[in-house]
Every structure is written in structure tokens, then in C-alpha cells.
Amino acid sequence: MIEVTGLSKSFGTLQALDDVTFTVEKGQIVGFLGANGAGKTTTMDILCGCIGADQGTAKICGYDINEQPLEAKKRLGYLPDEPPLHLEMKVRAYIEYAAKLRGLKGTKIQERTNYVLGKLEIADVSHRIIGNLSKGYRQRVALAQAIVHDPEVLVLDEPTEGLDPTQIAHIRDLIRSLAPEHTIILSSHILTEVQNTCDHIVIIHKGKLIRQGSYEEIVKEAESGGVYRLKVAKNEQALIGAISGFKGIKYSNFNQEDGEIEFGLEANDFDTLDLIGSKVIEGGYGLRELTLKTRSLEDVFFQITK
């Protein structure tokens, strides 16, 4: 549904994108991750035809966004990082206006407007002026304009930016509910939301694509072994010094806030794990916990982009 091939884009001397290639399959929710300035918004702007690429192609449902822009955009819904809202308009009037801009006519305008008002649970504020709504409701209205024409593909740039935890949960549930009907690519700084919402993840760093795959695949590739959590009763820093020289340990550190030691081992290196356990007991450090740690997407993201 989305095909990005060899995208490159520069702004003066700044190389915003460098040969980025990925695909989004029909029905997928894909998380597009990167730090500020990594190239996420530039990629999305190219996908939606807002700006052109220096090199490469971007296709929506098989239509090149540059060569066949009208056909591509008919199948595309876009929520940019700055929602395109007319704050002086009432909610229903604005969504009807968006429907007309998208080429809907006659009874189809009311039919789709009523559908998205119900789908996004904003029917009860349909008579209100957008500028008087909370940030969460405004974001729902912005999402409504992106789906009112029933596009096959949705591009959502930071759809939960600035929302509180309750609002984020509501938007997350709405995005999940849209997945059966739409192919979705979304960017977000909230990595736990991406981990919990998306089927596939694309990570971009300094304009280059550095990882893509499912959460499980990305974590497995980043770890290439096991990450363990170790807690002792005393002398944590001394223990780190005692075990850091062990041949099998890839890295170790002490988290002062949580009072735990974290270390990485090669896959199935149980001999080194036994040595660590023995060192803790023999040294009288007071073993409290030794367990395999499940790494979050946030852990992996910071590991591969540092």
C-alpha cells in the first residue's frame, strides 16, 4: 500500500534523508520512529505530496505521489504534526467542508460526516466551535478530516502530541479500531504507544533507515543475547567491578535510582551466568534478584541511536 524507494532530500547543506526504503503492507499499523530532526516529518511530507524528494519514489496504492498525485491523494488521509483546523468553525461544518474538499457530493457528505462523528465519539460536540474544544477533542476532529473520505492509507504525524495519558489512550484505541479498514503509518515520540499499537516498526536516525521489523525482531537483533537484572543487598559498585572483567559480559551498569545492576550476555551463555551467581554468594553481596530482563522498545531505541 505504501512503497518508499531510495528517498533522499536535502535542505541546503542539511541531508534530511539519505536513501530511505521501506514498505507498508495492507492492513498494517506501522510505527515510524526517530529523534527530533531524524527525518520523520520530511518523509511524511514527501509521502503526502507536500514537498518533493531530490531522489527516489513514494507510491500510495501503486500510484507515484509525484507522477500521479491526484490518484495517490484520493487514497490518502493525512494528519500532519500541526493539525489543519479552522478554529472559528463548528465541528460538523468543518468536517462537511473537509468532505467537500475531498470530492464527496450529495448525501455522501452527510453519510460520511455522521459516520466519523460517531466513530471518533465527537457527535456530542458537533455543534461547538473547534477553538473552544480541549486539545484531545481537537485532535479527534483533526483525525476526522483525515478519514472522512474513507481513504485506504492514513499517514499520522505525532497523533498524540501534547495529549494527557487519558487522551493518548483514547486516540490509541481509535487508531487500533481504524486498522481493519485502513493501512496506517504513524510517527510518535511515545515509544511505549508504538510498541503497544503497531505491527511493524521503522526506525530512522540522522536521515538513514537503521532498523525495521516487528518489535520482537528489532529487540532480538539489538540484544543478540540476553539482558539480565541483578539486585543485591549491598556494595553494588564493588560487584560491578568484580564481574565486569568476565569474558562473557558484553556490558554492565548500575542504575542508582532502581538499585539494580544490568548486564548483557551472549546468547545462552549460562557458564558466565553461573560465575556471576557464585561471585555474588561468595562475596557476601546478598543476592536479592537475578532475572532475565524483557527489554522495552525505548531501551532498544536508545541503544541503536546513541
Q: What was the pLDDT predicted at 227?
A: 76
Is the pLDDT at 113 greater than 70, yes or no? Answer: yes
Same domain membership, residue 162 and residue 257:
no
Q: What was the pLDDT predicted at 186?
A: 92
Same domain membership, residue 248 and residue 149:
no
- The residues, any chain, with a CB within 8 Å of residue 166's CB and separated by 6 or more, are 136
pLDDT in tens, 36-77: 888 999 999 999 999 999 999 999 999 999 999 999 999 999
Q: What was the pLDDT predicted at 295?
A: 65
Q: How far is it, in rounded angstroms, from Cα 276 to Cα 10?
A: 50
Is the pLDDT at 196 greater than 70, yes or no? Answer: yes
Half-sphere exposure of 18 (CA within 13 A, CB side): 11
Same domain membership, residue 262 and residue 159:
no
**Domain span at residue 248?**
220-305
Q: What was the pLDDT predicted at 257?
A: 60
Same domain membership, residue 243 and residue 203:
no
Same domain membership, residue 161 and residue 51:
yes
Q: What was the pLDDT predicted at 4?
A: 95
Q: What was the pLDDT predicted at 124?
A: 96
pTM: 0.76
Q: What was the pLDDT predicted at 54?
A: 95
Q: What was the pLDDT predicted at 86?
A: 96
- The DSSP bridge partners found for residue 183 are 153
Amino acid 17 reads: L
pLDDT in tens, 79-95: 998 888 999 999 999 99
Domain at 227, CATH number: 3.30.70.100
- The residues, any chain, with a CB within 8 Å of residue 255's CB and separated by 6 or more, are 261, 262
Q: What was the pLDDT predicted at 294?
A: 63
**Averaged pLDDT for residues 156-182:** 84
Among 199, 214, 229, the domain boundary falls at 214
Is the pLDDT at 272 greater than 90, yes or no? Answer: no
H-state helical runs in 106-235:
107-119, 135-147, 165-178, 191-197, 215-223
Among 170, 191, 214, the domain boundary falls at 214
Q: What was the pLDDT predicted at 271?
A: 87
Is the pLDDT at 170 greater than 90, yes or no? Answer: no
Share of the chain above pLDDT 90, in %: 50
Q: What was the pLDDT predicted at 237?
A: 83
Q: How far is it, in rounded angstroms, from Cα 39 to Cα 288?
A: 44
Same domain membership, residue 156 and residue 8:
yes
**Averaged pLDDT for residues 262-280:** 83
Same domain membership, residue 167 and residue 96:
yes
Long-range contacts of 46-51 (CB under 8 A, 24+ apart): 46/7, 46/9, 46/17, 47/2, 47/4, 47/76, 47/155, 47/185, 48/73, 48/76, 48/78, 48/80, 48/155, 49/73, 50/80, 51/9
Same domain membership, residue 79 and residue 44:
yes
Q: What was the pLDDT predicted at 269?
A: 80
Same domain membership, residue 94 and residue 227:
no
Same domain membership, residue 259 and residue 154:
no
Least confident range of 3-7, 12-16, 258-262, 286-290: 258-262
The confidence band for 236, taking pLDDT boundaries of 50, 70 and 90, is confident
Same domain membership, residue 96 and residue 63:
yes
DSSP secondary structure code for residue 14 in this structure: E
Domain at 67, CATH number: 3.40.50.300
**Secondary structure (3-state) at 143:** helix
Among 214, 245, 264, the domain boundary falls at 214
The confidence band for 267, taking pLDDT boundaries of 50, 70 and 90, is low
Number of domains making up the chain: 2
Same domain membership, residue 239 and residue 192:
no
Q: What was the pLDDT predicted at 306?
A: 63
pLDDT in tens, 285-305: 888 888 877 667 777 777 677
Contact 177, 99 (CB under 8 A): no
